Structures are given as C-alpha cells and as structure tokens.
Structure 1
Amino acid sequence: MELVPEGKNFRLVQEEELPEILEFVEKYLPDSLKFHQTLKTYLNDRVWDFYFYVNKAWPEEPVAVHFPGMTLSPNGRTYESFSVFCPSDELDNLRQLQEEDVLVDWSQPIYLNFTHHKILERLEDYYEAIGTLEKVCGDVYVCSDPPVDMQLDELCPEEAELMQLKPQHAKAIHDLYPANHMECVEIFEKLINALPAYGIFSNGELAAWMVQSYYGAMFSMQTRPEFRRKGYGIHLAKFLTNVVMSRGYIPFVVIRPENDASQSLYAKLGFERHYQMVRAIFRPHGHKADGD
C-alpha cells in the first residue's frame, strides 16, 4: 500500500504532531469524542494502522480525517473509507473535504464511519448532485457522571464467571456483530489482545461479552439469546464503564434509536444522550450496491 503524503487540501500528520492534534480536538468534546478517542487509542495501543490528515490551513480552519475509517471495506483500500472531525460551528470549512480529489475519490463509492450528524448533513447537501447516501444512525450516550452507588452485583459462581476474553473468541463474537461487514475478524483479535474485552461464561460457555473499541467506545455488547434476562448485560456494562474510566477514557456507547432496551440499560448507569452520529455509504449515480 502506497501512503499518500498529501492531497489537494490535506497533509499527512507526522508522528510527533499527534499529541498536539489530540489536545486540540479535546477542546471540542463531546462532539469530537469518537475522533478524539480513536486518536488516543492509536497513540496508546496501536491496534490498527490509521493515518491521520489535517487540512493545510490547520488549525485556523480545522478539519481532520483519518483513513481507513473502518477496518473492512469491499475492496480493502486504505482510502476507500474515512472518518472526519470538524467543529460543529465551523462547518463551512468542510469545503476543504468536498474539494479534496486526491485522497477522496468522490466518483467511486466511499464509506464514512460513524461521524457527527451535522457533518454528515453538510456533506449530504454537497453530494446530492453526485449520488445517493445509504445511512445508519446511532445515538451517542456518554457517561460523564456515573452513579456513586454503581456497584457490581455478584454473579453466581456455580453458574457464571466474568473473565478476560481470548483471541480464540474473536470469530464467534465477529459472527454475531451487527456491522461485521465493516470490521474484520482481525480487529477483534487485536482488541482482545490490547484493550479491555470481557465475557461472562456460563458453565464454561461464552454467554455474553463486551469490548472496548479502537475508537474508545464500549461496543459489541451482546448476550446469546438463551442467556438473556439473567443480568449479564448490565453486569458487563458496569464493569467495562469502570475499567474504561480507570484507563483515562470517557465511557460512551453508540445505540440505534430504536433500541429501547439498551437506552434504558445505559440510562441506569448514568449515560446521557448527547448527539447523533451517522454511518454512510456515498454511492455515485450509476454505481450499483455491493452484491447487485
């Protein structure tokens, strides 16, 4: 893979610049949360090779992107997917991205990972003449003030045990991950090796699990159907919330708007909705969907 050092409007951030970029983006929390913690996790753990770019007028006109935006795309190209940060009150600067024709090929399908909805809306206005968007929405719930009494309930040791996951569990977790067409099995193996990743095992069988993501969020919490209604989900959520905070991260989750059960669960743990993010496929007119 040939790394592109600069595009029309953006340049590759050098290693020694990354801490300063992180400090700058931190000023825009919580709106910048996903981009900020992707960069923070990259600096701390290097679970994936991301490449961060800022526009050439940075920081006077702050727009930052990273490629790839996700770990799996149809053709596996680095510049086929991206994620973007821009302050919500400076969205006019997104013209730098709209005019970018080296790093971003707007004439081909391109994949935007979860990004602040205001950014997506501005890009959608621009893209209307080029093609259509396929969108998935998720609400960002942030735990900035956890309940003081958030204690773990005891699991019955004869039935269930909380343990760190191992790489051999990655495939089973990936198979049931709702967005497994956008994240590869390898990233789950790397997350399990490098970041908090726990499962509840019932009589030796993996019953429920949760992992801290490369973008800092607590994600992929699932309970197998036969083990539901045993309190495993809230047990994992409480545990991971404490672990993530102890590592210096802001606990947050992305929840689909129709997922009332998850919204209720995290509300009990002090998570509050802040804004919506959108994942999108930009598909130019005349390009068929994958598999068509």
Structure 2
Amino acid sequence: MEIVSEGRNFRLLQEEELPAILDFLEKYLPDSLKFHQTIKTYLNNRVWDFHFYVSRNWPVEPVCLHFPGCTSTPNGRLYESFSVFCPSDSLESIDLIREEDILIDWTRPLFLNFTHSSIVDRIEEFYKNMGTLEKVHGDVYVFEDSPMDFNMDELPSDVEMCRLKPQHMQSIHNLYPANDMECVDVFEKLVSELPAYGIFSSGELAAWMVQSYYGAMFSMQTKPEFRRKGYGIHLAKYLTKEVSERGYKPFVVIRPENDASKSLYTKLGFKKNYQMIRAVLRPDNHEQNGTLSSENGEIEAVGVD
C-alpha cells in the first residue's frame, strides 16, 4: 500500500527525525513508555515496518501517531490500526485526530492499540457522536530498580531454558490470546532480534516469554500441566534482566483482574503506573468486522505460577 506522506493535520517523519522524537518523549516517561520504546526497537531492530507521524505544528501541538498500530487486522489495511501519544497536559491537541480524514477513515472500524487511558477518554468524547468503543483495559507495571540483585534459582535438572527460535513461534502464536491482532510473522521476527526464551521439559516447550516490538515483556504463558513449578517467575527474572541490559525499561501490561500476574510482578519489584486501553472504534450503522479478543489480549502473564 502506498505510504501517505501528509495527512490533514499530520506529517510522516523521516528516519533521521526519530531520535529527536525519542528525546522529546523521554520527558514524559513513564506515560510515553510504550510509544517511546516502539520507536527505539524500530531504530535498533526493525522488527516491523511502522510509520510514524507528528502534528504539522509539532511540538506546539505534541501529538504522535504510528501506523499500523497492530500487525494484524481484519482487512490488512495499513491505516486500519494506529497508536497515539500526547502529554497529559496537552490533551486538547488530541482533537487534531478528529479532523484527520486523510490518514484515518472514520467511516470504517479502526483498531487502536494500547494507549494511555486519558488519551482514549479524550478520543471517546468526540467519537461518541460517530460510534462506539469496544475496550480492553490493562494496567502498566514498570520495573524501576536494578535486576542485578535477582536471585536466579537453578532450574531442575530435567528442564532447560533456551533461546526461542522462529520455528517455535507458530505454536506459541496459536495459543496467544490476541493472535487476531498480531500476526505470526512479527513473532518470528521478534525472536530473531529481541530477548525471547522458553523452558523445555524433556524437549517439550513448557513455558515462554518474549520482548515485544514496543519494549514490553509479553506473551508469558505456561502450559497447564507445567504450572506451579516456578517457571514463570524464572522467565520473568531472566527477561527483566536482559531487557534492562539492552537499554530498555522493563514493563508489563496486566488485566486489572489478573491477580496472579500482579502478585508475580509486584514480588519482583514492578510498580503500577497508569492504565492503558486497547479499543475497536466501531462507527454506527457499519457491519461488524473484527473484534477484540475476549480474554487477556496482549496483556500478559497468562497461567503464571
């Protein structure tokens, strides 16, 4: 699909401009963490072909967009999904999105990847006259301490932890709760470029965890028959340490009702910072096409110990 260089209110960033955007976003950490680390993994590892935009009046109107926001959508259109960041003290600038009718087709369903809840609230204010939002909430837990003090207990002799390979990812993707929102191709690229580990028991993959393209530690799962063996916390410690050593801020997104995940990550020193929301924006009188996963989506630590 042809890349649009200019919308009504936004312009496409060139790659050489992205480091300056990172510097700007650093002023708003941790609120900007997901968008910041999406740009960072893009520059460092190019795991997916994202396209970043800023307002024409940047940084006076400090709104950033990136397309696609999700790597898989029902119609596979580049501009069908997006993510957005705007500082909380400039939320009135979000109204630029409402007027953006070149990059964003408001007459069709749109897929908004995890975005700060205050931004989604602002979008919902004007979108209520167009349609409805189908939402999934997630709490952002950020690791601020040093992982060097982690006590890395040895695994039992009959299991081993190994770096995941692309050939492992199809089966992992099949079990991923939001596999309708992220394609298997991005999983295969992630394990080639970013930390991704599995625990194998007698050669069988029992548990796994991957760093995502937006810097979070995600897709932690343990198969039911291997739970309560400590595999989850072992993977979380290892990934936290490696993600930190690679210059990223470790964080996870957890469903508010997921007490097991909250307990695990709180035990490791992660602290809740704010809430994000993923949404399908569905215009009135439009045939339903695409839904959010009913379970955890990309909110992680499914089946942890």
TM-score greater than 0.5 by the shorter chain: yes
Distance (whole Å) between structure 2 residues aligned to residue 46 and residue 60 of structure 1: 29
| Offset of residue 259 of structure 1 | 0.4
The yes-or-no answer on 1:224 pairing with 2:223 is yes
2:221 matched to 1:209?
Answer: no
CA offset at residue 38 of structure 1?
Answer: 0.3
Aligned to 1:236: 235
State whether residues 148 and 241 of structure 2, in contact with CA within 8 Å, keep that contact through their aligned partners in structure 1.
Answer: no
C-alpha contact (below 8 Å) 1:146/1:270 kept by paired residues: no
Deviation by residue 1:245-288 (Cα, 9 ceiling, x = unmatched): 00000000000111000000000110000000000000000113
Please give the alpha-carbon distance, in whole angstroms, between the structure 2 residues aligned to 1:243 and 1:264.
21
Report the TM-score when normalising by structure 1: 0.98
Shift of 1:291: 6.8
Q: Equivalents in 1 of 2:105, 2:26: separation in Å?
A: 29
Which residue is equivalent to 2:58? 58
In structure 2, the partner of 1:116 is 116
Q: In 2, distance between residues paired with 1:288 and 1:145? A: 48
The match for 1:282 is 281
Q: Distance in 1 between matches of 2:63 and 2:148?
A: 38
Q: Which amino acid aligns with 1:191?
A: L
Partner of 1:269: 268
Contact map agreement 1:141 1:253 (CA 8 A) in 2? yes
1: CA distance between counterparts of 2:288 and 2:146?
42
Q: How does 1:61-210 map to 2 (within 5 A)?
A: 61-146=61-146, 149-157=149-157, 159-210=158-209
Q: CA separation in 1, counterparts of 2:259 and 2:288?
A: 30
C-alpha contact (below 8 Å) 2:67/2:81 kept by paired residues? yes
Instruction: Verify the 8 A CA contact 1:234 1:265 in the aligned structure 2.
Output: yes
Deviation of 1:147 after TM superposition, in Å, equals 6.3
Q: Secondary structure in 2 aligned to 1:89?
A: helix
Unpaired segments ≥5 residues, structure 2: 292-305
| Contact 1:147 1:270 (8 Å CA) reproduced | no
| Conserved 8 A contact 2:34-2:215 | yes
* Percent identical residues: 69
Q: Does 2:29 correspond to 1:32?
A: no
Give the match for residue 21 of structure 1.
21
Letter in 1 for 2:256: P
Equivalent residues of 2:147, 2:241 under 8 A apart: no
Could you tell me whether the CA contact under 8 Å between 1:191 and 1:213 is conserved in 2?
A: yes
Alpha-carbon distance between aligned partners in 2 of 1:253 and 1:81, rounded to the nearest angstrom: 21
The Cα shift of 1:217 comes to: 0.3
Q: Is the 8 A contact 1:146 1:269 kept in 2?
A: no
SS of residue matched to 2:17: helix
**Is the Cα contact below 8 Å between 1:135 and 1:279 reproduced in 2?**
yes
SS of structure 1 residue aligned to 2:58: coil
**Two-structure CA RMSD over aligned residues (Å):** 1.1
Q: Give the total of aligned pairs.
A: 291
Q: What is residue 49 of structure 2 aligned with on the other side?
A: 49
